[in-house]
Structure 1
Amino acid sequence: MKEKKKSSTSLIEKIGKKIPDPVIIFMGLYVITMILTLVMGGKTFETMSADGGTIVHEIKNMFEAENIQWIFNNALLKNWLSYGGGVLGTILIVMLGVGIAEESGLLTALIKKIGLKVSDKFLPVALVFLGIMSSIASDAGYLILIPLAGLLYAGLKKNPLIGMAAAFAGVSAGFSANLFPSTPSDVIIGKNAQLFAESQGVPFANAAGEALNGPTMHYFFIAASTILLTLVGAFVTVKFIKPRLEKQSYTIPDDIDLSDFTVKPEENKALKFAGLGLLLAGVVVAYLGFGPLASFVTEEGTKVTPFIDNIILMITFLFFVPGLFFGIKMGLFKSAQDVIRAMAKQMGNMGYVLVLTFFSYNFLALLTECNLGTYITFLGAKGLQAMGLDNSPILLIIGFIITTAIINLFVGGLTSKWMLLGPIFIPMLFQVHSGMTPDIVAAAYRVADSSTNIITPLMSYAGVILVFMRKYKPEYTIGDLIGLMFPYSVAFLVVWTALLIGFFTFGIPLGF
């Protein structure tokens, strides 16, 4: 049995190692997509709209003059620098705050401090849990927790990739789980699910006939999921990832000195000073959160959340100020120029990210503009629809999860896929079986969308995570990353699906 597991893992790794660098992948996909639009240009297909009508989509021939103009007119600003609401800017600004904390020595001191008190046995649990919970802060988990996990393991003289894998599993594969209700993904999925259901005559109620509240209709399920995925993620880390990686070599960059794993007296004093900085920064952030950036409801009844919308800037500030205080106390920041130099050094390490995002974001924008992305999702939906599983609600759930999981490997974006799949599957599955209520279908979507995030090179942060890992293993490839994260993806998909089926079978409410 063990030999079979080893051979299957080896096969995955061998296949994965043949996958080229993400930049090359996106270059190739861009060319392939352009050719497909030439061949399929003019083809139309229909999908169901939120109001019960139909939307006619047409695949655009991107070689036509006006579409060529679109490519060049949007390549730099809209499709790169502003893609996804400015994801690239978010990445860069976070690195400024983290850069100060890292260059000042604050992170290294904290790692040593924590490393003396935390047992290696509890780290996987803590990292997966923190990763899952970080989804409430949007991109912060990717940009902050994962590199910190690597530094923590390096400080404990363990392979940094062990910690980074555990954190990545929690942040990305466990994205839809949380202990906090009404997270951004709860609101996006819940509110739209209500619209999809009510506009097509489907009761927005659970199996017991009780009215659903969109933002909290999954709370019991995602809270249970948080605990389950934390335990499963830690188990996979200890039983599969750690044994594999602890035998592999890794390097510690020259700018990280972990030879003396003790906290010096001057570092203890600087940590206390950094604590003062964190307190002051926390007061400022709290003032903003309850004051100028407090949530409010407009006259139209729309809830506006300025603080949550700017959570990345808040987190950056919370890193910047303590790092500044620590550096000043340690005598490393003697002038403003020293601070600027520290930030510039961090930016200098982001060159690969700039190259990667230029090609990846332009490809993803092209896929959306030409409607091929929509067509891929449409074909997957039609395939499930053709199965006709009238008397098998559990197989319907499993089939929908598998379909969405496969689509997620090729088309990113939680919102975009839900806006297409939701109007189709919420009414369709309810008509096939009355037990397939909107909350069940939406929960199945969340399970599938999250679980396969960590094994697709098309995920927005795949290249960024690869950059973080290459800090300790320069030869690491996207294939290595996929092979490393594959056990998490399979485990999460299986146990999370089983949990949902358990809720469904025993009639347990998914939320309130």
Structure 2
Amino acid sequence: MTDQPPATTQKGFLGFVERTGNRLPDPVFLFFYLILGLMVVSQICAWAGVSAFHPTQVTDQGVPLQIESQSLFSPQNIQRLWVDMPATFTHFHPLGYVLVVMLGAGVAERSGLFSSAIRAAVRGAPKALLTPLVALVAMLSNHAADAGYVVMIPLAGILFASAGRHPLAGIAAAFAGVSGGFSANISPGQLDALLFGITESAYEASGIDAGWTMNIAGNTFFIIALLAIYLPVIWYVTDRIIEPRLGKWTPFPGAAVQAGDEDKPLTDDQRKGLRNAGLALLGVCALWALMTFGPGTPLLADGPGTEGNPWYQKAGPFFRSLVAAFFVLFLAAGWAYGAAAKTVNNHRDLVNMMTESMKDLGYYLVLAFAAAHFVAMFGWSNLGLISAVHGADAIQNSGLPLPIVLGLMVLLTGLLNLFVGSASAKWALLAPVLVPMLMLLGVSPEGATAAYRVGDGATNIITPLMVYFPLILVFAQRWQKDFGLGSLTAMMIPYSLWMLISGVALMMLWIFLALPLGPGAPVHIELQEIATP
């Protein structure tokens, strides 16, 4: 497998998307070019005197503070670029969150915990419930990083074939769950740490003081609802649209009709490892509950002025500790599984697994370096806040209801995803404008993040620029030799459309009903609550 999709002769819109996407530079250089363009635009805006009145800050005379665009070619900003370069990179919020979570997740993945848990969840499933179970486990497998792609998707083809159903339908359902339902889950995970880290960077760069604190659980209720919506969608599209069009599958000589290594039954050691991992998971949850509600309550803010407040209003330290909680949970569960399954024999194996997980993040570190400087320089120029103020004014003057605005944001993200595959790269590009703009319209940073992730996930499965797209094509060709890129794209388009429609509807309904997006994460904020005297 390579990062570049194979050459095809696609025509029409899909061919345009593929050709255009292939001409785009690597996301790292894309950010480099954007920085150069930003510098030029900042100079032009500084010459033109582009400005806006700050929405929450006033001068000593009580008039709104005027925010003026700053040239990135100014001596102060040139000095800041070179002198603060190490700090700009290391203080990029997603960097620390992702590294910490991945230290634990690397152990859970390399010990075999994620792979065995996926296999145990889907083996022996009733034929009538095979599709929803495959889709459910596929969406949950997003906690397992790459394991969902390399284990769940080929396994789904084998499960469908062994049940007398078309294996490509199984691959489609699993691909839709793992990649299309990328943001749907029952609990926060690595993606939440990544996206909310970028959201926090955009929030701080905006200069708007909303008293907001990064909360990795800020979209928990929403992603659970998203899972509940996507599950019947994938079930319906698979059983009613895709599989009838595929017709009856006839094995060809050499097809993968027999279960491969990924379908072997679990050994006694692996089953014991899963039990031990479950106990470790309960132990970590109990430990965090004790630190939240037990003596001393170290994870609750019990300072002056918090007396009598409910726990969730004092839970800032608890929410900020969830990144560390997932690190400890993945580490403990992976170690417990590996010790029983004989994949972790001593502490050196544990350290090696953590080291290997850091090696896998090499490209992400390079991308984070470029994204960190783009986000920081966007803030130095003041263009993010100025764009947000004028954008919010334009939307307010348009008279569009807020749910419609969020729906259009989802569609914009989905369209951009066809050309830029990296979720973090797109959000680092969009967040500096969208987060403050939506805050000025009364939408919390959690609401902006939720809208983004809906659009990002639904179109993953139809863009050849998605890094795993060629791999899924290889899996499909194990069952149908002449299955090409166009065949895969056409098979996944119904999933993408229905997931996008249902996701947009859910986002609009959520905004309309003003439901909380997660613990301590309202969907609306009031400007008077964030204004500074």
Q: Report the TM-score, using the length of structure 2 for normalisation.
A: 0.61
1:72 aligns with 2:64: no
| Alpha-carbon distance in 2 for matches of 1:316, 1:167 | 22
Give the drift of 1:263.
0.9
| Alpha-carbon distance in 2 for matches of 1:34, 1:283 | 51
SS in 1 for 2:51: strand
Return the match for 1:45 from 51, 56, 66.
51
SS in 1 for 2:131: coil
- The equivalent of 1:286 in structure 2 is 289
SS in 1 for 2:52: strand
| Alpha-carbon distance in 2 for matches of 1:341, 1:443 | 36
Contact conserved, 2:131 with 2:238, CA < 8 A, in 1? no
SS in 1 for 2:102: helix
Contact conserved, 1:101 with 1:319, CA < 8 A, in 2? yes
| Alpha-carbon distance in 1 for matches of 2:95, 2:240 | 35
Give the drift of 1:469.
7.2
- The equivalent of 2:72 in structure 1 is 62
| Alpha-carbon distance in 1 for matches of 2:283, 2:18 | 48
**AA of the residue aligned to 1:46:** A
Contact conserved, 1:37 with 1:59, CA < 8 A, in 2? yes
Q: Write out per-residue CA displacement over residues 131-152 of structure 1, whole angstroms, 9 at most, x where no aligned residue.
A: 9xxxxxxxxx6xx255343233
SS in 2 for 1:46: strand
- The equivalent of 2:166 in structure 1 is none
Q: Pairwise CA RMSD of aligned residues?
A: 5.1
**AA of the residue aligned to 1:370:** S
1:351 aligns with 2:346: no
- The equivalent of 1:263 in structure 2 is 266
Summarize the alignment of residues 69-468 of structure 1 with structure 2, pairs less than 5 Å apart: 69-77=79-87, 79-84=88-93, 87-118=94-125, 120-123=130-133, 125-126=135-136, 144-150=143-149, 151-157=151-157, 163=174, 166-167=177-178, 169-170=180-181, 172=183, 227-228=228-229, 231-232=232-233, 258-291=261-294, 292-301=297-306, 303-387=314-398, 389=399, 395-397=400-402, 400-401=405-406, 404=409, 417-423=434-440, 425=441, 448-454=451-457
Give the drift of 1:342.
1.8
- The equivalent of 1:491 in structure 2 is 501
SS in 1 for 2:146: helix
- The equivalent of 1:180 in structure 2 is none
Of 299-308 and 24-33, deviating more is 299-308
Contact conserved, 2:77 with 2:380, CA < 8 A, in 1? no
Give the drift of 1:311.
0.9
| Alpha-carbon distance in 2 for matches of 1:444, 1:334 | 44
Q: Write out per-residue CA displacement over residues 98-133 of structure 1, whole angstroms, 9 at most, x where no aligned residue.
A: 2212222222222221220445411465268759xx
Q: Write out per-residue CA displacement over residues 140-199 of structure 1, whole angstroms, 9 at most, x where no aligned residue.
A: x6xx2553432333443478896465345545489999xxxxxx99xx99xx9xxxxxx9
**AA of the residue aligned to 1:102:** E
| Alpha-carbon distance in 2 for matches of 1:443, 1:92 | 22
- Cα 1:162–1:227 shift into 2, 3 Å: closer
- Cα 1:350–1:471 shift into 2, 3 Å: farther
SS in 1 for 2:67: strand
Percentage of matched positions with identical amino acids: 22
Q: Report the TM-score, using the length of structure 1 for normalisation.
A: 0.63
- Cα 1:303–1:467 shift into 2, 3 Å: farther
- Cα 1:98–1:274 shift into 2, 3 Å: same
- Cα 1:348–1:287 shift into 2, 3 Å: same
| Alpha-carbon distance in 2 for matches of 1:9, 1:344 | 40
SS in 2 for 1:49: strand
1:36 aligns with 2:47: no
| Alpha-carbon distance in 1 for matches of 2:101, 2:180 | 21
Q: Write out per-residue CA displacement over residues 313-334 of structure 1, whole angstroms, 9 at most, x where no aligned residue.
A: 1122122122212222233333
Q: Write out per-residue CA displacement over residues 347-404 of structure 1, whole angstroms, 9 at most, x where no aligned residue.
A: 11111111111111211111122122223334433433453x4xxxxx4346533665
- Cα 1:371–1:347 shift into 2, 3 Å: same
Contact conserved, 2:187 with 2:220, CA < 8 A, in 1? no
Give the drift of 1:21.
2.2
| Alpha-carbon distance in 1 for matches of 2:411, 2:64 | 25
| Alpha-carbon distance in 1 for matches of 2:243, 2:18 | 16
Give the drift of 1:227.
4.2
| Alpha-carbon distance in 1 for matches of 2:333, 2:446 | 40
Q: Write out per-residue CA displacement over residues 255-303 of structure 1, whole angstroms, 9 at most, x where no aligned residue.
A: xx83552112232233333344334434333333333444244323462
| Alpha-carbon distance in 1 for matches of 2:365, 2:220 | 37
| Alpha-carbon distance in 1 for matches of 2:187, 2:394 | 25
| Alpha-carbon distance in 2 for matches of 1:363, 1:264 | 49
| Alpha-carbon distance in 2 for matches of 1:321, 1:30 | 41
- Matched pairs, number: 413
- Cα 1:115–1:11 shift into 2, 3 Å: same
| Alpha-carbon distance in 2 for matches of 1:379, 1:171 | 32
- Cα 1:325–1:446 shift into 2, 3 Å: closer
| Alpha-carbon distance in 2 for matches of 1:372, 1:31 | 14
**AA of the residue aligned to 1:83:** F
